[in-house]
Amino acid sequence: MTVTEAYLRDESVHGVMDRLDLPPDVEALYGDRLVPRPFFLDRGTADRVSADLKAFFDLLVSLPARLFGGSLTRYAAALGIPPAEAALMSAERPPFHGRADIYRVGEQFRLLEFNSGSQLGGRALGDLAHAILEVPDFKPFADEHDLTYVHPVAELLDAVGRDRTIAFLEAGGMLTRFADRFAALVQSCARLGVDVLLGELEDVVERNGHAYLAGTRVDVAVRFFAPRQAVGRTGELARAHRTEVFTPLSSYLYGNKNTLALLSGHRDELEHGERELVDRLLPWTRSLHRTELDQVRANRENLILKAAGEFSGTGIHPGWLHDDAEWRQLLDDVRGKPFVVQERVRPTPDVVPGDDRPWLTTWGWFVTERGFAGMSIRSMPSEVGAVVSYGGNPDTRVSALLLQ
């Protein structure tokens, strides 16, 4: 019997999410949007999928050399990245650091997209996992199954270096727009023993090669801003060559959804082991402008259309939620823009005690160079939509992952 099966059978632990003692910042951010259950996974599977993601990332990083003769300019153009943004990126390999959004299909896990870089949401859900394990009525179940968790914030701090002066950098007023999320992240760091600075690109001052925020010298700036926000704003930070930027903007070269289309489209050119990896993880994915439009129109029920460079559910259109006329119009509207079409993945529905509806869950799989780095679970009843996005769908709920 799996831990999930044991949990669903044991009614005494079904109310654990109603008995959480959450930190005020986590309560303010997530308290009214919790899935009424935790999720479970064995550590072996967590590590196995993370190793697959590392090998997959290595394939993505190889694409400029394999397909474009090493030309970053041609590669960025193929992804649809504007030249002004591409000019901020380098060919140097970024660290393996990101979050893969994944569906569970039976015992397998299928990759929807890989968000490469440090500009990621959902890390503070590690505090939710901690709170679940602290509920007295849940402790016997947790002890019986040796449950633990990996905190994404702790993994981020370990990757950056806890003994350095760290600043989280946004840009263009995003700290105000997402104030609750950054408050939870900063407080989560503090609970883990690390105080971090918070600022925007516009606040950075360069002195003697170092970046300063409010008079404090920064050793490493953890980047939350996107390339489009950085255009015309990076002068002070770029001159601060003694301050590390974690992660560089070149991470976007391997997090754009068109990278998946390139890899999927050139699958037959890969070596045997590489093809097996791609087939195991990646649904069929193609750039819209490189795909026969009649084929896309005819297969509406089995395709999803995605804006290649967007995030948080923006620009995602499931074909099965449109009729033929709407789908045709949508394809006409985005023609010539950087969009991909991807094979529809039909995930195994999840069961939530006390709710007869099947739930649709996205597993936000955090990874670093060290491997598995925690999870951001987002879930909602299948009947309310097809895009599980905390920021883009008010019916989306969050939960934590517990490891056995």
Tens digits of per-residue pLDDT, 134-150?
999 999 999 999 999 99
- The lowest-confidence range among 186-200, 250-264, 380-394 is 380-394
pLDDT of residue 393: 86
pLDDT of residue 175: 95
Q: For residues 22 and 126, give the distance between their C-alpha atoms in angstroms, rounded to a whole number.
A: 11
Phi, psi of 124 (to 5 degrees): -65, -5
Split at pLDDT 50, 70, 90, the class of 296 is: very high
pLDDT of residue 291: 82
| Mean pLDDT computed over every residue of the chain | 95
pLDDT of residue 294: 87
Contact yes or no for 398/33 (Cβ under 8 A):
yes
Nearest CA-CA partner of 269 in 89, 28, 44, 62: 62
Nearest CA-CA partner of 100 in 151, 40, 49: 49
| Residues whose CB is less than 8 angstroms from the CB of residue 309 and which lie 6 or more positions away in sequence, other chains included | 79, 80, 81, 252, 256, 257, 258, 338
Q: For residues 270 and 7, give the distance between their C-alpha atoms in angstroms, rounded to a whole number.
A: 42
Nearest CA-CA partner of 63 in 258, 284, 247, 248: 258
pLDDT of residue 383: 94
The CA angle 264-363-384, to the nearest 5 degrees, is 100
Contact yes or no for 298/291 (Cβ under 8 A):
no
Indicate the pTM of the whole model. Answer: 0.95
What six digits make up the tokens of 29? 């951010």
Contact yes or no for 95/249 (Cβ under 8 A):
no
Q: For residues 366 and 372, give the distance between their C-alpha atoms in angstroms, rounded to a whole number.
A: 6
Task: List pLDDT tens digits, range 80-127.
Answer: 999 999 999 999 999 999 999 999 999 999 999 999 999 999 999 999
* Residue 262 in this model has a pLDDT that exceeds 80: yes
Split at pLDDT 50, 70, 90, the class of 239 is: very high
Instruction: Give 326's Cβ-side CA count (13 Å radius).
Output: 10
